[in-house]
């Protein structure tokens, strides 16, 4: 049974929310996006990235309205349930769970790869498994300490990426960026790169899952979200474009540690900067792994609290007010993914869950504006309804592209969704609680 006080504690400040939001995503600047060069080349992938950037900017400026108006640990699940009822809540909850349960194993595997790059005696998978133990333990003892850790490690990660850009700028060449690309850029190549371009930003929406733990959510959430998306757009475009211009980008297109390798191309493998950066590169991965651990545990907690998952996952620690059983359950799911998939497949699965969630969130915004015009909205999406409409259309475009170019992984995702929805409608529907807004 949940403890007598089942509420999460409001302790997160604006800088800490920025740290969690950027921290959720910043590992995407360190690895994963470079697989888009393998599928599309640098020029077409730049088109993929600009398309995805338009999606995320329009999405975040719209999604912030929902998060500030309905500050719930369920995030998109809570918004869709309020707009479309229990079935809509299930679809959004499933997509969000896939998004946040699959991102950590990909990051953990990259942490193992970076560590192995630094010390070949350390095997990749055991290091990845050890990451789960360390960060579940760190999150066990309360959100206040976790938020402080997130802020500091995110600041270090951002500073590191800025140093990276400063170091490689003198060695940048536009000719290298354009080399080894086809004479004409095809729409197919742009669409094929979409899931890897999304890796620059995917999981930014996870900040909504700590909304119940934010002080003064009416002001803190808009400030944290907007500052985070601006930070990430600058870092994503800077890191990608500069990395492509320091050497033969094809050598970076299928590895899990592209930035240390790019710096080695620019400065030489014996450069002290190359060696230091390879070590410090772990900061960004640590930040994202830690913040994604926060998010997946809150999503499991919120779904269990409302009857969509076993109620035991909604149990909070009596002293630290953390969802410890949700932390453990998400860790088990992540470990299974580490042992059963590849980084590329896990990335595609995660971004597919994300883009489905983006679409249903924007539809929820449009429905709630019409159905609940008097709902207090401390932040209102600018250019309504055009901006959320653009985010909805781009979400659908990205989803279709991901399905077309990744039919196997997409079949796994939608097969799981259909099976889960069938079980929910036949068995679980009657256990779902009435949709209400959590106390503010």
Considering the domain boundaries, does residue 236 fall inside one?
Answer: yes
Query: How far, in whole angstroms, is CA 301 from its chain's centroid?
Result: 18
Give the global pTM: 0.87
Considering the domain boundaries, does residue 300 fall inside one?
Answer: yes
pLDDT digits (tens, 9 = 90+) for 36-94: 999 999 999 999 999 999 999 999 999 999 999 998 878 899 999 999 999 999 999 99
Instruction: Please give the Cα distance from 177 to 242 (Å, whole number).
Output: 8
* φ, ψ (nearest 5 deg) of residue 117: -60, -40
Q: Which residues contact 428 (CB under 8 A, 6 or more apart)?
A: 307, 308
CA neighbours closer than 13 Å in the CB half-sphere of residue 138: 20
CA neighbours closer than 13 Å in the CB half-sphere of residue 276: 9
Instruction: Please give the Cα distance from 155 to 149 (Å, whole number).
Output: 10
Q: How far is CA 213 from CA 12, 298, 410, 436, 440, in A?
A: 6, 10, 34, 17, 10
Instruction: Please give the Cα distance from 374 to 433 (Å, whole number).
Output: 24
Instruction: Please give the Cα distance from 98 to 349 (Å, whole number).
Output: 7
Query: Alpha-carbon Rg of the chain, whole angstroms?
Result: 21
Nearest Cα residue to 334 out of 150, 106, 31: 106
Q: Which residues face 214 on adjacent strands?
A: 12
- Rounded mean pLDDT of 264-286? 78
- 177 with 42: CB under 8 angstroms? yes
Query: How far, in whole angstroms, is CA 405 from its chain's centroid?
Result: 21
Considering the domain boundaries, does residue 216 fall inside one?
Answer: yes
Considering the domain boundaries, does residue 438 fall inside one?
Answer: no
Residue found under tokens 């504006």: 369
Tokens for 315? 């149990």
Confidence check: pLDDT of 434 > 80: no
Among 19-23, 179-183, 287-291, 382-386, the minimum mean pLDDT is found in: 287-291
- Verify cis geometry, omega within 30 degrees of 0, for the bond prior to 385: yes
Considering the domain boundaries, does residue 154 fall inside one?
Answer: yes
- 392 with 364: CB under 8 angstroms? no
Residue 4: the pLDDT is 40
pLDDT digits (tens, 9 = 90+) for 154-211: 999 999 999 999 999 999 999 999 999 998 899 999 999 999 999 899 889 888 878 8
More reliable by pLDDT, 256 or 378: 378
Percent of the chain having pLDDT more than 90? 49
CATH number assigned to the domain comprising residue 414: 1.20.1740.10
Q: By CB neighbour count within 10 A (0-12 exposed, 13-18 middle, 19+ buried), where does 319 fall?
A: exposed
- 41 with 180: CB under 8 angstroms? yes
Percent of the chain having pLDDT more than 70? 94
Nearest Cα residue to 21 out of 198, 219, 224, 196: 224
Q: How far is CA 195 from CA 31, 142, 188, 356, in A?
A: 13, 33, 13, 13
Residue 429: the pLDDT is 73
Q: Whole domain around residue 384: which residue ranges?
A: 14-431
Residue 2: the pLDDT is 40
Instruction: Please give the Cα distance from 176 to 376 (Å, whole number).
Output: 52
Residue 8: the pLDDT is 65
Instruction: Please give the Cα distance from 34 to 199 (Å, whole number).
Output: 10
Confidence check: pLDDT of 341 > 70: no
pLDDT digits (tens, 9 = 90+) for 231-259: 999 999 999 999 999 999 999 998 877 88
Q: By CB neighbour count within 10 A (0-12 exposed, 13-18 middle, 19+ buried), where does 269 fall?
A: exposed
Q: End-to-end CA distance of the chain, in Å?
A: 23
Considering the domain boundaries, does residue 89 fall inside one?
Answer: yes
- Overall number of domains in the chain: 1
Average pLDDT, the chain: 87
Q: Which residues contact 434 (CB under 8 A, 6 or more apart)?
A: none
pLDDT digits (tens, 9 = 90+) for 94-105: 999 999 888 888
Instruction: Please give the Cα distance from 97 to 289 (Å, whole number).
Output: 15
Query: How far, in whole angstroms, is CA 126 from its chain's centroid?
Result: 23
Instruction: Please give the Cα distance from 45 to 411 (Å, whole number).
Output: 25
- Rounded mean pLDDT of 121-143? 83
- Rounded mean pLDDT of 329-352? 83
The model's confidence at residue 305, banded by pLDDT at 50, 70 and 90, is confident
């Amino acid at each position: 049974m949940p403890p007598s006080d089942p509420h999460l504690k409001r302790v997160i400040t604006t800088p800490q929310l920025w740290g969690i939001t950027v921290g959720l995503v910043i590992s995407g600047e360190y690895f994963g996006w470079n697989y888009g060069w393998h599928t599309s080349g640098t020029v077409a992938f730049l088109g993929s990235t600009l398309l995805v950037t338009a999606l995320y900017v329009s999405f975040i400026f719209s999604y912030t309205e929902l998060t500030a108006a309905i500050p719930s640990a369920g995030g998109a699940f809570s918004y869709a349930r309020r707009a479309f009822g229990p079935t809509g809540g299930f679809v959004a909850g499933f997509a969000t769970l896939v998004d946040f349960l699959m991102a950590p194993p990909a990051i953990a595997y990259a942490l193992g790869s970076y560590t192995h790059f630094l010390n070949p005696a350390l095997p990749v998978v055991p290091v990845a498994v050890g990451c789960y133990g360390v960060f579940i333990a760190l999150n066990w003892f309360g959100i206040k300490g976790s938020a402080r850790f997130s802020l500091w490690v995110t600041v270090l990660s951002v500073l590191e990426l800025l140093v990276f850009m400063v170091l490689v700028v003198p060695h940048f060449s536009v000719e290298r960026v354009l080399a080894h690309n086809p004479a004409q850029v095809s729409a197919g190549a742009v669409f094929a790169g979409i899931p890897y371009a999304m890796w620059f930003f995917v999981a930014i929406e996870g900040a909504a899952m700590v909304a119940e733990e934010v002080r003064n959510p009416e002001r803190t959430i808009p400030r944290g979200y907007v500052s985070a998306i601006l930070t990430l757009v600058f870092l994503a475009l800077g890191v990608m474009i500069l990395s492509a211009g320091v050497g033969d980008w094809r050598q970076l297109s299928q590895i899990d540690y592209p930035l240390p390798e790019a710096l080695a191309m620019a400065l030489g493998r014996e450069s002290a900067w190359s060696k230091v950066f390879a070590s410090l590169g772990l900061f960004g991965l640590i930040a994202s792994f830690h913040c994604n651990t926060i998010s997946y545990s809150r999503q499991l907690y919120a779904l269990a609290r409302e009857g969509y998952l076993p109620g035991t996952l909604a149990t909070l620690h009596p002293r630290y007010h953390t969802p410890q059983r949700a932390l453990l359950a998400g860790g088990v799911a992540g470990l299974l993914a580490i042992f059963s998939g590849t980084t590329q497949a896990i990335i595609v699965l995660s971004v597919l869950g994300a883009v489905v969630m983006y679409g249903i969130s924007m539809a929820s915004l449009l429905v709630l504006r019409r159905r609940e015009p008097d709902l207090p909205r401390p932040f209102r999406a600018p250019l309504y309804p055009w901006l959320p409409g653009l985010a909805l259309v781009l979400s659908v475009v990205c989803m279709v592209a991901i399905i077309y170019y990744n039919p196997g992984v997409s079949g796994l995702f939608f097969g799981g969704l259909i099976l889960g929805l069938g079980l929910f409608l036949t068995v679980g529907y009657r256990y779902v609680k009435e949709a209400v807004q959590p106390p503010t």
